[in-house]
A and B are shown apart, each in its own frame.
Chain A
């Protein structure tokens, strides 16, 4: 008779005999996270630049985007793409929904980081560029954005951490990601304890190094008196 302890040794043995599923879930989570991160950086860069434009039209477009994606739960956005778009005839794979859904959602947050980064650049940089005759686009491209990348790296990395954790919403639409794999193993084997602990550990393995890097890099920037972009934490 096996022990009924939820963390009994035999439960762990059983879990690792079935590790393949969890392993491929981990791989899927990793792939979705990388692609969604790439998408969120592209979207965020565009939104961030639009939101600091002089003209009100691009500014409003950026504002509306950010407010919509930040103020509706990610889960509803995912459901909308999974069920809503499907009813409208656009059937996307769970993988695509993961990348696009999480990417667009975090694009709004990255946009806010980029915006704060652009606004944190000293006014003198814009003035020097203008006094040489650089137009707005050239000023952004040659002067502002290259400097900004360094100072927004810490908040951007925090976004990456949040994004990785948020890919776990895919479990709800059977996204074959880490959370889903762990959960389906757990409910079929009743080895809930080890399954969730392992999943948590794997998320931690992805996120902890990034979070540590972010903290260390920010300390370094502060020590060098560089510009530190502080983003109020409004997340999750």
Chain B
């Protein structure tokens, strides 16, 4: 479904991704962990070309992403949930959810709204359809953002630290929604520090450090006997 092949990324002189190779199967749930600056956000952002790799290839459903076809591939295949939610503040919740399907997937307004309400039910915010995002709490905004990512019914959803900007007490409501999604046949790539979530839904956990993938394994592997010293050190810090 997603394949990164020898992906390198530089920001100026800074080598943030070093020869990343990664394959994600259809429907797989991947959790990427690692210290800040390890390149985990950049890795997911390369998967929809929000960052274009300096070298290497990215394939989505077998098609190589290029500067030319990236919009089309993104439009057809992937959605993203951001740390800062990035809802459109001038639109109601319902409009946030329907603008993409109406303008990009050419759905009728009625059809798009029906779909939107279906996903608002899943995230538990049907009654907020007509309000503006600024009236919602952080956790509610992120649940709306997740509903928005679902509305275009794409096969891949990328999560870039979806709970890092939230108050501690609202983190769980967002994680609960994401756990619910994990039972759908959606390929999920999640950058997060939430190890409980990783344990519950991840098929594979990827540990990144200094721009490389240091260790890949099942959640059990990470919790019971991580191989690398660096991984142990990191886990001991965040599991404390």
Within the complex, the shortest CB–CB distance from B234 to chain A, in Å, comes to 27
**Contacts A125-B86, A142-B99 hold; do A130 and B104 have CB atoms under 8 A apart?**
no
Distance between Cα atoms of A143 and B76 in the complex (Å): 20
Main secondary structure of the interface of A (DSSP, over half): helix
Binds A, one of B18-26, B77-85, B197-205, B221-229: B77-85
Within the complex, the shortest CB–CB distance from A136 to chain B, in Å, comes to 9
Within the complex, the shortest CB–CB distance from A192 to chain B, in Å, comes to 51
Distance between Cα atoms of A227 and B182 in the complex (Å): 37
Distance between Cα atoms of A146 and B78 in the complex (Å): 25
Question: Could you tell me if A131 and B103 are in contact, using CB atoms closer than 8 angstroms?
Answer: no
Q: How large is the interface on B (under 10, 10 to 19, 20 to 34, 35 or more residues)?
A: 20 to 34
Question: Could you tell me if A132 and B82 are in contact, using CB atoms closer than 8 angstroms?
Answer: no
Within the complex, the shortest CB–CB distance from B44 to chain A, in Å, comes to 11
B48 contacts A by Cβ under 8 Å:
yes
Within the complex, the shortest CB–CB distance from A1 to chain B, in Å, comes to 68
A89 contacts B by Cβ under 8 Å:
no
Residue of B nearest to A147 (CB): B90
**B89 touches which of A131, A138, A142, A147 (Cβ 8 Å):** A147
Question: Could you tell me if A135 and B71 are in contact, using CB atoms closer than 8 angstroms?
Answer: yes
Main secondary structure of the interface of B (DSSP, over half): mixed
- Chain A interface residue count, CB cutoff 8 Å, equals 17
Question: Could you tell me if A124 and B86 are in contact, using CB atoms closer than 8 angstroms?
Answer: yes
Within the complex, the shortest CB–CB distance from B72 to chain A, in Å, comes to 8
Distance between Cα atoms of A158 and B153 in the complex (Å): 46
In the complex, chain B residues whose CB is within 8 Å of the CB of A143:
88
B230 contacts A by Cβ under 8 Å:
no
Which of the listed residues B74, B76, B86 has the most CB atoms from chain A within 10 Å of its own CB?
Answer: B86
In the complex, chain A residues whose CB is within 8 Å of the CB of B88:
125, 128, 143, 147
Question: Could you tell me if A131 and B74 are in contact, using CB atoms closer than 8 angstroms?
Answer: yes
In the complex, chain B residues whose CB is within 8 Å of the CB of A147:
88-90
Residue of A nearest to B152 (CB): A132
Question: Could you tell me if A134 and B86 are in contact, using CB atoms closer than 8 angstroms?
Answer: no
Q: Could you list 18 examples of A-B contacts with CB < 8 Å?
A: A122-B86, A124-B82, A125-B86, A127-B82, A127-B86, A128-B82, A130-B48, A130-B50, A131-B74, A132-B74, A132-B104, A133-B75, A133-B76, A133-B104, A134-B100, A135-B71, A138-B104, A147-B88
Write the residues of chain A forming the contact surface with B, with a CB cutoff of 8 angstroms: 122, 124-125, 127-128, 130-135, 138, 142-143, 146-147, 150
The 9 closest A-B pairs by CB, nearest first: A133-B75, A128-B86, A131-B80, A124-B86, A132-B100, A147-B90, A133-B74, A133-B104, A124-B84
